[in-house]
Amino acid sequence: MRIDHVPTPPHPAPVGARLRAITATCLLTLIPTLATAATPTGKLTGTVGHANTDVNTTATFTGTGNDRTVTLDFRDPYGCSVSAPFVKEDATSANFRIRPSTSSGGWCDRLKPDVIFKPAAAVDGKAAWRIDFSSKSNDWTGTLVLSTGP
């Protein structure tokens, strides 16, 4: 058997083409996070915690523009809620200022005033935000996810 033509391996793509492909892949990976606004809207649910304490939490956003407010409802073991009007936002975070608690939960009365929301990686395809705030003795953090239910 005679071979008239020996195939040559394909030439690698030029460096520029490979770099464009890598850049495009990275951007497509980041687009869901970049598309999430710094200030969430609607209702978010999830868990906040510190050390060995986790608290189921709901954040409900109302209003528009500079008249936005978030109401934070903390479940057991604390069972209290606070509202926090909008203060400011930038490209990476939205800041709210906690008002004194109107519920009977003593834990809510010990929260420091600042609460910060930052876009986070989507959870199960749903938009998510990281929440950070402090009580008098601990720093709390968690991930809250856009709720599609009541």
Q: What is the pLDDT of residues 39-74, one digit of tens each?
A: 788 999 999 999 889 999 999 999 998 999 999 999
Beta-carbon contacts of 121 under 8 Å, excluding residues fewer than 6 positions away, are 32, 33, 128
Least confident of 10-24, 30-44, 129-143: 10-24
Tokens of residue 3, six digits: 């071979």
Separation of alpha carbons 139 and 91, rounded Å: 23
If residue 34 lies in a helix (H) or strand (E), which one and from where to where?
Answer: helix 15-35
Q: Tell which residue, 111, 35, 108, 39, has the closest CA to residue 69.
A: 39
**Residue 68 three-state SS:** coil
CB-count burial class (<10 Å; 0-12, 13-18, 19+) for 52: exposed
Q: Kindly report, residue by residue over 75-129, the tens digit of the pLDDT.
A: 988 889 999 999 999 989 999 999 987 766 688 989 999 999 999 999 999 999 9
pTM for this entry? 0.73
Looking at per-residue confidence, does 30 or 118 come out higher? 118
Query: In DSSP terms, which residues pair with 114 in a beta bridge?
Result: 97
Indicate whether 23 pLDDT > 60. Answer: no
Separation of alpha carbons 18 and 112, rounded Å: 50
**Residue 110 three-state SS:** coil
Give the per-residue pLDDT at 100. Answer: 81
Q: Are 55 and 78 in contact (CB under 8 A)?
A: yes
Give residue 30's pLDDT band: very low, low, confident or very high (50, 70, 90). very low
Give the per-residue pLDDT at 133. Answer: 97
Give the per-residue pLDDT at 15. Answer: 58
